[in-house]
Amino acid sequence: MPHIEVLDQNTINKIAAGEVIERPASVVKELMENAIDARATAVTVEIRDGGLSLIRVTDNGCGIPEGEVATAFLRHATSKIRTAEDLAAVGSLGFRGEALASIAAVSQVEVITKTPEQLTGLRYQIEGGAERGTEEVGAPDGTTFLVRNLFFNTPARRKFLKTAQTEGAHVASLVEKMAMSHPDISVRFIQNQQSRLHTSGNHNLKDIIYTVFGRDIAANLLPVEYESEILQIRGFAGKPVIARSNRNFENYFINGRYVRSGLVTKAIEEAYKPFMMQHKYPFVLLHLSIEPEYLDVNVHPAKMELRFRDGDWFFQMIVQAVSQALAKQELIPEVTLEKEEKISTAPVVPAPEAPRAAQAKEPEKPEQKPEKSSPVRGPEPFEVSRRKMEEEPVYQSRPMYSAAAEKTEPAAGQLDLFEEKFLEPESRKRHRLIGQLFDTYWLVEFDDHLYLIDQHAAHEKVLYERTMKSLKTREFTSQLLNPPLILTVSAAEAALLERYRRRFEEIGFEMEPFGGREYAVRAVPDNLFSVATKDLFTELLDGLSDELLAGSPDILCSRAASMSCKAAVKGNHPMSFAEADHLMDELLKLDNPYACPHGRPTMISMSRRELERKFRRIV
């Protein structure tokens, strides 16, 4: 049986460091938080090789007194709290006293610091947790940390880091968030001797949004304001027109701290529900100021998580604040509604007098009728039946097969195999094209069924499968854009472009850096020429971000093919009989013609028997 022994202090320090320092961005986070807590008004972050060889963080804060520099590197040494009771009212970003000790345990650290009261500064060196030297130096007020050779003494940790480019992107994203969390502080970021970000520190949050995210997002913002005795919300909510395909642009800060909270995320998305398409996510940048007694920030070593006291009340207040901002503007999407009663407006959530009152009784919500779902068994069109004349359709699956599906044994309850199928070449000659309904749906008679085909969904699927095949087999041509498209990207998006740049070029894109945060797109695959816009590339990058860890070579093809669907004929668009007939021919060639790339059915059907029952011809 193994003996139980106490670990040596060196091993203890390295294990503890692993809880706080995961990658170079973790070091930058801890040092920037220390600079902010030191009341700095300007912070400069510089990295080289993604932060692996050098991280330099300089601030103009209050500095560290000469006699306390060495103490600052001891574990659990902190100026933020004195007793456990102080945790209930902690207002600083750091308070555990683990950051400097953890950084020093796995790197070579040099600190130069000076307080306003001192005539000269102090230079202190510590390596792998062991002190190396101290000397007096000339220095300005404030503190500079130089962290070299991160994980030099823990090679197992170092080999699990990503490339310098990827680690640099994580640092850049972190610095952007820190700048957004403190608009009163001038933040500068230098990567490999090139300036990547510089904010003014003029307290103007919209200026920072413009600097980080660009003009298009800054031009589509709605101010959010809410205030009570224990909660203040300030910031901006993006209009639905700048919705994204992932949550990367949902930014919120609680008491100046960048955190992730399921409660806050859910509240934001709840407020956007009446205005946002499914699987789309908003842009928000919110600052929440909450009385410390209502928060528990001592949850996670990296302080990225927290708990709310009276969480239901905070949830409702966040929903109300964002909903009111959205309701001030006319953001009504033009949609076709089945019933007039389904028109929804922004929910109005009454504000409880106090959190405990909110827990006792939740605000009433507008009654929402559940949407009827369409049960689908595989790729099949739908047969419509009705239980009562006034009720909505109830969709029942009616088996239809592709040629590949016919090779397998049919499940119980499917149609007799001898019955001819609608989408088969031998059935095509008996299709009777009746006409177009509402400039959107084509009516086709076949045997004893009426088929309704959504021209947009059907055309989308045709374009998608055609594009997928051409991209995979590289049977395509590129088309030049004149003038080229100029894209302004964030640090994370730039990293994605560089990571997938070769793949972009393989499928027909031509792009190159255009200086700063901009790229010039000079050519696109010919099938995307008619839809080549900035929005197209934004959606492409959003999709790649979701799949970043998957690394599948077909991700970009699939995303590009999805984008080609934007060229599909839209609803409310007249089509000639010849065009509709050609679309039917194209559907016959598809592997799965029954659903569009987004999962919507391309067609539904109604039997002659069902129609005759509705007209009381039969009982």
Rg of the chain (C-alpha set): 30
The answer for residues whose C-beta is within 8 angstroms of residue 156's C-beta and 6 or more apart is: none
Q: Fill in the amino acid letter for 297.
A: V
Quote the Cα angle for 20-26-30, to 5°. 80
pLDDT tens readout for residues 178-196? 999 999 999 999 999 999 9
Give the whole-angstrom CA distance, residue 232 versus residue 321: 10
At residue 516, the 3 state secondary structure works out as coil
On whether the 206-332+345-360 domain is CATH 2.60.40.10, my answer is no
Q: Fill in the amino acid letter for 604.
A: I
Give the whole-angstrom CA distance, residue 278 versus residue 263: 19
> What does the mean pLDDT of the chain come to?
78
Give the whole-angstrom CA distance, residue 436 versus residue 442: 5
Range from 342-351, 436-445, 477-486 that averages highest in pLDDT: 436-445
- Mean pLDDT computed over 314-342: 64
Quote the Cα angle for 469-430-595, to 5°. 35
- 143 versus 571: which is more confidently predicted? 143
Give the phi and the psi of residue 529 in degrees, each rounded to 5. Answer: -60, -40
State how far Cα 117 lies from the chain centre.
46
Tokens 């009982």 belong to which residue? 619
- Mean pLDDT computed over 202-211: 93
At residue 271, the 3 state secondary structure works out as helix
SS (H, E, C) 216-245: HHHCCEEEEEEECCCEEEEEEEECHHHCEC
Is the Cα dihedral 604, 574, 537, 219 positive or negative?
Answer: negative
pLDDT at 241 (0 to 100):
81
Give the whole-angstrom CA distance, residue 105 versus residue 11: 9
pLDDT at 342 (0 to 100):
40
pLDDT at 591 (0 to 100):
74
Give the whole-angstrom CA distance, residue 142 versus residue 60: 4
Query: Tokens in use for 215?
Result: 């003009």
* Range in 144-158, 278-292, 594-608 with the lowest mean pLDDT: 594-608
Fold topology of 9-202? Heat Shock Protein 90 (3.30.565)
pLDDT category of residue 563 using cuts at 50, 70 and 90: confident
* Range in 133-137, 296-300, 423-427 with the lowest mean pLDDT: 296-300
Contact at 8 Å (CB) between 396 and 386?
no
SS3 breakdown of the chain: % helix, strand, coil, rounded to 5? 35, 25, 40
Q: What is the DSSP letter of 461?
A: H
pLDDT tens readout for residues 48-100? 999 999 999 999 999 999 989 998 888 765 554 444 444 444 444 544 457 88
pLDDT at 469 (0 to 100):
81
* Range in 189-203, 257-271, 544-558 with the lowest mean pLDDT: 544-558
- pLDDT above 80: residue 544: no
Quote the Cα angle for 80-86-92, to 5°. 40
The answer for residues whose C-beta is within 8 angstroms of residue 616's C-beta and 6 or more apart is: none
Side-chain half-sphere CA neighbours of 568 within 13 A: 28
H or E element that contains 296: strand 295-296
On whether the 378-619 domain is CATH 3.40.50.1820, my answer is no
Q: Fill in the amino acid letter for 43.
A: V
- Mean pLDDT computed over 268-286: 85
- 277 versus 146: which is more confidently predicted? 146
pLDDT tens readout for residues 371-396? 443 333 333 443 443 333 534 344 33
- Mean pLDDT computed over 142-164: 91
Percent of the chain with pLDDT over 70: 74
CA distances in angstroms from 234 to 252, 256, 268, 450, listed in the order given? 10, 12, 14, 55
pLDDT at 207 (0 to 100):
94
The answer for residues whose C-beta is within 8 angstroms of residue 47's C-beta and 6 or more apart is: 24, 28, 54, 55, 56, 168, 171, 190, 191, 192
Give the whole-angstrom CA distance, residue 120 versus residue 71: 19
pLDDT tens readout for residues 334-371? 233 344 444 343 444 444 444 444 444 444 444 444 44
- Provide the residue ranges of all domains of the chain, joining segments of one domain with +: 9-202, 206-332+345-360, 378-619
- pLDDT above 60: residue 218: yes
* Range in 5-9, 68-72, 327-331 with the lowest mean pLDDT: 327-331
- Mean pLDDT computed over 453-460: 91
DSSP-assigned states of every residue in 107-157: SEEEEEEE-TT-SSEEEEEEETTEEEEEEEE---SEEEEEEESTTTT-HHH
DSSP-assigned states of every residue in 314-383: HHHHHHHHHHHHHHTS--------SSGGG-------PPPSSHHHHHHSPPP----PPPPP----SS--EE
pLDDT category of residue 545 using cuts at 50, 70 and 90: low
pLDDT at 607 (0 to 100):
85
